[in-house]
Structure 1
Amino acid sequence: MPDNLTPEQRSYCMSRIKGKDTGLEMRVRSELHRRGFRFRKHVKELPGKPDVVFTKAKVAVFIDGDFWHGYRFPSWEHKVSDFWKQKIKKNRERDRRNHRKLKEMGWTVIRLWQHDLERDFQECIERIIAAVNEARSR
Protein backbone atom coordinates (compact mmCIF):
# COMPACT_ATOMS: atom_id res chain seq x y z
CA MET A 1 0.00 0.00 0.00
CA PRO A 2 1.62 3.29 -1.05
CA ASP A 3 1.77 6.29 1.24
CA ASN A 4 -0.95 8.77 0.25
CA LEU A 5 0.88 11.74 1.81
CA THR A 6 3.73 13.79 0.40
CA PRO A 7 7.08 13.46 2.21
CA GLU A 8 6.50 16.89 3.76
CA GLN A 9 3.03 15.93 5.01
CA ARG A 10 4.33 12.61 6.38
CA SER A 11 7.19 14.41 8.12
CA TYR A 12 4.77 16.83 9.74
CA CYS A 13 2.48 14.01 10.91
CA MET A 14 5.39 12.04 12.33
CA SER A 15 6.76 15.10 14.13
CA ARG A 16 3.51 15.32 16.12
CA ILE A 17 3.97 11.83 17.59
CA LYS A 18 5.50 11.88 21.04
CA GLY A 19 8.46 9.64 21.73
CA LYS A 20 8.50 10.20 25.47
CA ASP A 21 6.23 11.55 28.18
CA THR A 22 3.22 9.95 26.52
CA GLY A 23 -0.09 9.84 28.31
CA LEU A 24 0.47 6.24 29.42
CA GLU A 25 3.99 6.99 30.68
CA MET A 26 2.77 9.95 32.67
CA ARG A 27 -0.09 7.92 34.12
CA VAL A 28 2.29 5.14 35.23
CA ARG A 29 4.77 7.59 36.72
CA SER A 30 2.02 9.50 38.49
CA GLU A 31 0.67 6.33 40.11
CA LEU A 32 4.15 5.16 41.17
CA HIS A 33 4.90 8.59 42.63
CA ARG A 34 1.55 8.66 44.42
CA ARG A 35 2.49 5.34 46.04
CA GLY A 36 5.75 6.80 47.30
CA PHE A 37 8.19 5.43 44.71
CA ARG A 38 10.94 7.64 43.37
CA PHE A 39 12.66 7.00 40.08
CA ARG A 40 14.43 8.54 37.15
CA LYS A 41 13.05 8.74 33.65
CA HIS A 42 14.60 8.27 30.21
CA VAL A 43 18.10 7.54 31.52
CA LYS A 44 20.27 8.03 28.47
CA GLU A 45 23.21 6.11 29.95
CA LEU A 46 21.19 2.88 29.80
CA PRO A 47 20.50 0.92 26.62
CA GLY A 48 17.16 1.95 25.16
CA LYS A 49 16.69 4.90 27.55
CA PRO A 50 14.05 3.14 29.70
CA ASP A 51 10.91 5.12 30.44
CA VAL A 52 11.11 4.56 34.21
CA VAL A 53 14.31 3.61 36.05
CA PHE A 54 14.78 2.55 39.66
CA THR A 55 18.54 3.00 39.84
CA LYS A 56 19.32 1.40 43.20
CA ALA A 57 17.03 -1.56 42.58
CA LYS A 58 18.31 -1.87 39.00
CA VAL A 59 14.81 -2.13 37.53
CA ALA A 60 14.15 -0.65 34.08
CA VAL A 61 10.59 -0.23 32.80
CA PHE A 62 9.63 0.24 29.17
CA ILE A 63 6.12 1.37 28.23
CA ASP A 64 5.56 0.28 24.63
CA GLY A 65 2.84 1.20 22.18
CA ASP A 66 1.34 -1.86 20.49
CA PHE A 67 1.83 -0.49 16.97
CA TRP A 68 5.26 1.11 17.29
CA HIS A 69 6.84 -1.87 19.02
CA GLY A 70 4.96 -4.47 17.00
CA TYR A 71 2.89 -6.41 19.49
CA ARG A 72 2.15 -9.76 17.75
CA PHE A 73 3.56 -8.20 14.59
CA PRO A 74 3.72 -11.39 12.49
CA SER A 75 -0.08 -11.66 12.65
CA TRP A 76 -0.66 -8.20 11.12
CA GLU A 77 2.50 -7.22 9.25
CA HIS A 78 0.84 -8.11 5.93
CA LYS A 79 -1.54 -5.19 6.50
CA VAL A 80 1.12 -2.46 6.49
CA SER A 81 3.35 -1.00 3.78
CA ASP A 82 6.96 -2.06 3.30
CA PHE A 83 8.09 1.14 5.01
CA TRP A 84 6.22 0.23 8.21
CA LYS A 85 7.30 -3.40 8.03
CA GLN A 86 10.94 -2.32 8.04
CA LYS A 87 10.41 0.37 10.67
CA ILE A 88 8.62 -1.95 13.10
CA LYS A 89 11.06 -4.81 12.50
CA LYS A 90 13.96 -2.48 13.35
CA ASN A 91 12.14 -1.29 16.47
CA ARG A 92 11.61 -4.89 17.59
CA GLU A 93 15.24 -5.82 16.93
CA ARG A 94 16.43 -2.76 18.85
CA ASP A 95 14.08 -3.61 21.75
CA ARG A 96 15.48 -7.17 21.94
CA ARG A 97 19.07 -5.91 21.77
CA ASN A 98 18.51 -3.34 24.53
CA HIS A 99 16.70 -5.89 26.69
CA ARG A 100 19.61 -8.31 26.34
CA LYS A 101 22.19 -5.61 27.15
CA LEU A 102 20.32 -4.54 30.28
CA LYS A 103 20.00 -8.16 31.47
CA GLU A 104 23.75 -8.65 30.92
CA MET A 105 24.34 -5.55 33.06
CA GLY A 106 22.30 -7.13 35.88
CA TRP A 107 19.09 -5.16 35.42
CA THR A 108 15.53 -6.44 35.79
CA VAL A 109 13.61 -5.39 32.69
CA ILE A 110 9.85 -4.91 32.66
CA ARG A 111 8.10 -4.29 29.37
CA LEU A 112 4.54 -3.04 29.65
CA TRP A 113 2.42 -3.08 26.53
CA GLN A 114 -0.17 -0.43 25.79
CA HIS A 115 -3.03 -2.95 25.68
CA ASP A 116 -2.01 -4.42 29.08
CA LEU A 117 -2.00 -0.98 30.69
CA GLU A 118 -5.37 -0.17 29.17
CA ARG A 119 -6.85 -3.52 30.21
CA ASP A 120 -5.54 -3.77 33.80
CA PHE A 121 -3.57 -0.72 34.85
CA GLN A 122 -3.32 -1.66 38.52
CA GLU A 123 -1.95 -5.11 37.76
CA CYS A 124 0.82 -3.51 35.67
CA ILE A 125 1.67 -1.14 38.51
CA GLU A 126 1.80 -4.09 40.91
CA ARG A 127 4.26 -5.85 38.57
CA ILE A 128 6.61 -2.89 38.78
CA ILE A 129 6.27 -2.57 42.55
CA ALA A 130 6.87 -6.29 43.07
CA ALA A 131 10.03 -6.19 40.96
CA VAL A 132 11.37 -3.14 42.80
CA ASN A 133 10.59 -4.61 46.23
CA GLU A 134 12.15 -7.94 45.29
CA ALA A 135 15.31 -6.24 44.04
CA ARG A 136 15.54 -4.12 47.19
CA SER A 137 15.24 -7.19 49.41
CA ARG A 138 18.29 -8.86 47.80
Structure 2
Amino acid sequence: MADIFTQEKRSWIMSRIRSTNTKIDLKMKQLLEENKIEYEMYPKMFGNPDFVIRKKKIAIYCDGDFWHGYRYHEKKKPSKEFWRNKIQTNMRRDLHVTRKLRREEWSVLRFWEHDIEKRADVCVRRILRKMARK
Protein backbone atom coordinates (compact mmCIF):
# COMPACT_ATOMS: atom_id res chain seq x y z
CA MET A 1 0.00 0.00 0.00
CA ALA A 2 1.35 3.43 -0.94
CA ASP A 3 1.99 6.15 1.61
CA ILE A 4 -0.94 8.61 1.82
CA PHE A 5 1.48 11.56 1.99
CA THR A 6 3.80 12.93 -0.66
CA GLN A 7 7.48 12.31 -0.12
CA GLU A 8 7.94 15.97 0.86
CA LYS A 9 5.08 15.88 3.37
CA ARG A 10 6.29 12.58 4.89
CA SER A 11 9.79 14.06 5.22
CA TRP A 12 8.36 17.09 7.01
CA ILE A 13 6.29 14.90 9.37
CA MET A 14 9.29 12.70 10.19
CA SER A 15 11.47 15.77 10.84
CA ARG A 16 9.11 16.72 13.68
CA ILE A 17 9.86 13.51 15.59
CA ARG A 18 12.57 14.22 18.12
CA SER A 19 15.58 11.96 18.35
CA THR A 20 17.28 13.77 21.24
CA ASN A 21 16.02 14.82 24.65
CA THR A 22 13.14 12.40 24.40
CA LYS A 23 11.17 11.45 27.50
CA ILE A 24 13.07 8.19 27.92
CA ASP A 25 16.45 9.84 27.33
CA LEU A 26 15.70 12.42 30.02
CA LYS A 27 14.54 9.67 32.39
CA MET A 28 17.82 7.77 31.80
CA LYS A 29 19.79 10.97 32.37
CA GLN A 30 18.00 11.41 35.70
CA LEU A 31 18.77 7.80 36.68
CA LEU A 32 22.47 8.20 35.84
CA GLU A 33 22.69 11.44 37.83
CA GLU A 34 20.82 10.01 40.84
CA ASN A 35 23.33 7.16 40.93
CA LYS A 36 26.30 9.53 40.52
CA ILE A 37 27.39 7.84 37.29
CA GLU A 38 29.63 10.03 35.13
CA TYR A 39 28.29 10.01 31.58
CA GLU A 40 28.40 11.87 28.32
CA MET A 41 25.10 12.46 26.53
CA TYR A 42 24.89 12.22 22.73
CA PRO A 43 28.61 11.80 22.09
CA LYS A 44 29.90 12.22 18.56
CA MET A 45 30.97 8.66 17.81
CA PHE A 46 30.02 5.68 15.67
CA GLY A 47 26.47 4.51 16.28
CA ASN A 48 25.36 7.70 18.04
CA PRO A 49 24.66 6.21 21.47
CA ASP A 50 22.40 8.17 23.78
CA PHE A 51 24.97 7.98 26.59
CA VAL A 52 28.50 6.74 27.09
CA ILE A 53 30.52 6.04 30.17
CA ARG A 54 33.92 6.62 28.59
CA LYS A 55 36.07 5.45 31.53
CA LYS A 56 34.42 2.03 31.27
CA LYS A 57 33.79 2.01 27.50
CA ILE A 58 30.05 1.49 27.94
CA ALA A 59 27.58 2.72 25.31
CA ILE A 60 23.94 3.06 26.38
CA TYR A 61 20.98 3.17 23.99
CA CYS A 62 17.40 4.06 24.94
CA ASP A 63 15.32 2.34 22.27
CA GLY A 64 11.71 3.31 21.65
CA ASP A 65 9.45 0.26 21.55
CA PHE A 66 7.79 1.15 18.24
CA TRP A 67 10.78 2.59 16.38
CA HIS A 68 13.20 -0.19 17.30
CA GLY A 69 10.80 -3.10 16.95
CA TYR A 70 10.14 -4.42 20.44
CA ARG A 71 8.87 -8.01 19.95
CA TYR A 72 8.43 -7.13 16.28
CA HIS A 73 8.42 -10.72 15.05
CA GLU A 74 5.71 -11.71 17.55
CA LYS A 75 3.35 -8.81 16.88
CA LYS A 76 1.02 -7.90 14.08
CA LYS A 77 3.07 -5.87 11.60
CA PRO A 78 2.13 -2.30 10.68
CA SER A 79 -0.16 -2.30 7.65
CA LYS A 80 1.84 0.38 5.82
CA GLU A 81 4.93 -0.84 4.01
CA PHE A 82 6.65 2.45 4.85
CA TRP A 83 6.53 1.68 8.61
CA ARG A 84 7.54 -1.95 8.18
CA ASN A 85 10.59 -0.86 6.17
CA LYS A 86 11.45 1.87 8.66
CA ILE A 87 11.32 -0.44 11.68
CA GLN A 88 13.17 -3.28 9.95
CA THR A 89 15.90 -0.87 8.82
CA ASN A 90 16.24 0.42 12.38
CA MET A 91 16.53 -3.14 13.71
CA ARG A 92 19.24 -4.04 11.18
CA ARG A 93 21.14 -0.83 11.95
CA ASP A 94 20.91 -1.48 15.72
CA LEU A 95 22.39 -4.95 15.26
CA HIS A 96 25.18 -3.65 13.00
CA VAL A 97 26.07 -0.84 15.42
CA THR A 98 26.07 -3.15 18.44
CA ARG A 99 28.32 -5.69 16.73
CA LYS A 100 30.80 -3.06 15.52
CA LEU A 101 31.07 -1.38 18.91
CA ARG A 102 31.57 -4.72 20.65
CA ARG A 103 34.36 -5.58 18.18
CA GLU A 104 35.94 -2.29 19.27
CA GLU A 105 35.70 -3.53 22.90
CA TRP A 106 32.78 -1.36 23.94
CA SER A 107 30.08 -2.83 26.13
CA VAL A 108 26.70 -2.01 24.63
CA LEU A 109 23.61 -1.77 26.79
CA ARG A 110 20.23 -1.34 25.10
CA PHE A 111 17.17 -0.50 27.15
CA TRP A 112 13.59 -0.62 25.91
CA GLU A 113 11.35 2.37 26.43
CA HIS A 114 8.90 0.41 28.60
CA ASP A 115 11.71 -0.83 30.87
CA ILE A 116 13.09 2.68 31.41
CA GLU A 117 9.59 3.92 32.24
CA LYS A 118 8.38 1.02 34.41
CA ARG A 119 11.49 -0.86 35.61
CA ALA A 120 14.08 1.86 36.05
CA ASP A 121 15.65 0.03 39.00
CA VAL A 122 16.44 -2.97 36.78
CA CYS A 123 18.08 -0.69 34.19
CA VAL A 124 20.26 0.97 36.82
CA ARG A 125 21.31 -2.41 38.25
CA ARG A 126 22.39 -3.57 34.77
CA ILE A 127 24.50 -0.45 34.30
CA LEU A 128 26.12 -0.75 37.74
CA ARG A 129 26.85 -4.47 37.20
CA LYS A 130 28.46 -3.72 33.84
CA MET A 131 30.55 -0.93 35.40
CA ALA A 132 31.74 -3.24 38.19
CA ARG A 133 32.91 -5.85 35.65
CA LYS A 134 35.02 -3.43 33.58
> How high is the TM-score relative to the length of structure 2?
0.89
Q: Supply the distance in 2 between the matched residues of 1:10 and 1:79 (Cα, whole angstroms).
A: 16
The reply on whether 1:84 has 2:108 as its aligned counterpart is no
Shift of 1:82: 1.0
After superposition, residues 41-52 of structure 1 pair within 5 angstroms as 41-45=41-45, 47-52=46-51
**Residue identity opposite 2:20 in structure 1:** K
Structure 1 stretch displaced more, 61-70 or 81-90:
81-90
After superposition, residues 12-51 of structure 1 pair within 5 angstroms as 12-45=12-45, 47-51=46-50
Q: Supply the distance in 2 between the matched residues of 1:79 and 1:39 (Cα, whole angstroms).
A: 36
What does residue 67 of structure 1 align with? 66
Q: Supply the distance in 2 between the matched residues of 1:78 and 1:37 (Cα, whole angstroms).
A: 38
Q: Which runs of 5+ in 2 are unaligned?
A: none
Shift of 1:13: 2.4
Q: Deviations over 1:19-73 (max 9, x none)?
A: 122111111112211221111122222x211111001101111000011111111
What does residue 133 of structure 2 align with? 134
What does residue 104 of structure 2 align with? 105
- Helix, strand or coil for the counterpart of 2:18? coil
**Residue identity opposite 2:11 in structure 1:** S
**Residue identity opposite 1:55 in structure 2:** R
Identity, in percent, stands at 37
Paired residues, number:
134
Mapped contact 1:102–1:109 kept (Cα < 8 A): yes
Mapped contact 1:25–1:51 kept (Cα < 8 A): yes
Shift of 1:75: 2.6
- Helix, strand or coil for the counterpart of 1:56? helix
Q: Supply the distance in 1 between the matched residues of 2:129 and 2:7 (Cα, whole angstroms).
A: 45
> How high is the TM-score relative to the length of structure 1?
0.86
Mapped contact 1:77–1:85 kept (Cα < 8 A): no
Q: Supply the distance in 1 between the matched residues of 2:78 and 2:49 (Cα, whole angstroms).
A: 29
The RMSD of aligned alpha carbons is 1.7
Q: Supply the distance in 2 between the matched residues of 1:101 and 1:107 (Cα, whole angstroms).
A: 9
Shift of 1:8: 4.3
